[in-house]
Amino acid sequence: MRLNSAIVTASHIPLVDVTRGDLVESVHYGSFVATAPNGDVLYSGGEPGSPVYPRSSLKPLQAAAMVAAGLELPDDLLALSAASHSGAADHIAGVERILGMHGLDASALRNTPDVPYGSAERRAWVAADRGPTRRAQACSGKHAAMLATCVINGWPVHSYLEVDHPLQVAIAESLEAATGERASATAVDGCGTPVFAYSLTAVARAYGRLASAPTGTPEGSVAHAMRAHPYMVGGAGRDVTDLMTAVPGLIAKDGAESVQLVGLADGSAVAVKISDGGDRARMPITAAILARLGVSAPALEPFRTSPVLGGGQPVGELRACENLFMTENPAVA
């Protein structure tokens, strides 16, 4: 890890090759870690101990914090609370349901207005000559749940995004307990909520505990909701939705700037950060690590590679670099 003034830069390694014909045209660097059910590091590469902003991949842990603070929602809406949704009609209607259940409407939302995140949903939205709204933005489910949690606890509603608001303080304390780390940095996420920096190892362990949490606990409730309603966590054609559908018991959430967190039902987990923020590299390396953990190869096949096109035809692919697991590194914390 290199320190330059106040900027921390991790020493990443090659994770994903981009081929075109017989050549490797580009390489995506990053760091990763896979943890065992007891939290021990099984495999790692780069600097998984360096701080990263997990961005929206923190949402399931934030949702668990809200459940612990009294939030009660049907499973589909709890899954939406942990989502970066595509902005389909069901997603937007779900946001309105959360708000309406707690005497609120969309005017209470303080997330950044946007058009839908999903490609098809965005095209349809723009074709209908509709502009950015807070309801359509990918994080509106989380924001609606945050507002609901404020109403339940009698906390101020308008200021719910402030870092010293009781809601955000409760979430920060819950994240610290879940990760076993005090946040090394705090900033503002794209949607306006506070975002905290943790090591990949810490958030992987937190996801392992989330995925294996007992029924009836806040973590168990969120994991169950995500498994029962993977569509609400992402949407049609979204890789996290498809991955949760393909692998029973798995929970997955992506984050901006190419972060991927995965928890398996046995408590093992994976955390990935692509250093250049290139989202296309996120899933091939994640699939390679999951395969190493013993996840079924047929289930992972759609995620293992993605095509590189030339003239509209596949002429190469994105694929995990070879020899990633030559060194098993259980000593990394």
Q: Which residues pair with 28 in a beta bridge?
A: 16
Asked whether residue 188 is domain-assigned, the answer is yes
Please identify which residue in the block is written with the tokens 């708000």: 99
Asked whether residue 208 is domain-assigned, the answer is yes
The total of structural domains in the chain comes to 1
What is the span of the domain harbouring residue 164?
47-269+287-313
Cβ neighbours of 146 (radius 10 Å): 29
- Three-state SS for 290? helix
| pLDDT given at position 117 | 98
Specify the pTM: 0.94
Asked whether residue 329 is domain-assigned, the answer is no
Written as six digits, the tokens of 291 are 């395969």
Q: H or E element: which one contains 25?
A: strand 23-35
Asked whether residue 211 is domain-assigned, the answer is yes
By the 8 A CB rule, do 329 and 44 touch? yes
- Three-state SS for 196? strand
Per-residue pLDDT tens digits of the chain, which is 333 residues long = 443 445 556 789 999 999 999 999 999 999 999 999 999 999 999 999 999 999 999 999 999 999 999 999 999 999 999 999 999 999 999 999 999 999 999 999 999 999 999 999 999 999 999 999 999 999 999 999 999 999 999 999 999 999 999 999 999 999 999 999 999 999 999 999 999 999 999 999 999 999 999 999 999 999 999 999 999 999 999 999 999 999 999 999 999 999 999 999 999 999 999 999 999 999 999 999 999 999 999 999 999 999 999 999 999 999 999 888 755 544 433
Asked whether residue 23 is domain-assigned, the answer is no
State the chain's maximal CA–CA distance in angstroms. 62
Asked whether residue 9 is domain-assigned, the answer is no
Helix/strand/coil (H/E/C) assignment for every residue in 92-151: HHHHHHHHHHCCCCHHHCCCCCECCCCHHHHHHHHHCCCCCECCCCCCHHHHHHHHHHHH
Asked whether residue 65 is domain-assigned, the answer is yes
By the 8 A CB rule, do 235 and 36 touch? no
Q: Could you tell me which of 146, 142, 175, 167 has the C-alpha nearest to residue 54?
A: 175
Q: Could you tell me which of 19, 40, 190 has the C-alpha nearest to residue 111?
A: 190
Query: What is the number of helices (H) and of strands (E) in the chain?
Result: 12, 14
Written as six digits, the tokens of 136 are 């359509």
Q: H or E element: which one contains 273?
A: strand 269-274
Asked whether residue 327 is domain-assigned, the answer is no
Radius of gyration of the chain (CA): 19
| pLDDT given at position 325 | 78
By the 8 A CB rule, do 106 and 134 touch? yes
| pLDDT given at position 10 | 74
Written as six digits, the tokens of 14 are 């090659």
Q: Which amino acid is at 138?
A: A
Q: How far apart are CA 305 and CA 126, in angstroms?
A: 31
Q: What secondary structure does DSSP assign to 29-90, as a single string?
A: EEEEEEE-TTS-EEEEES-TTSEE--GGGGHHHHHHHHHHTT----HHHHHHHT------HH
Cβ neighbours of 272 (radius 10 Å): 33
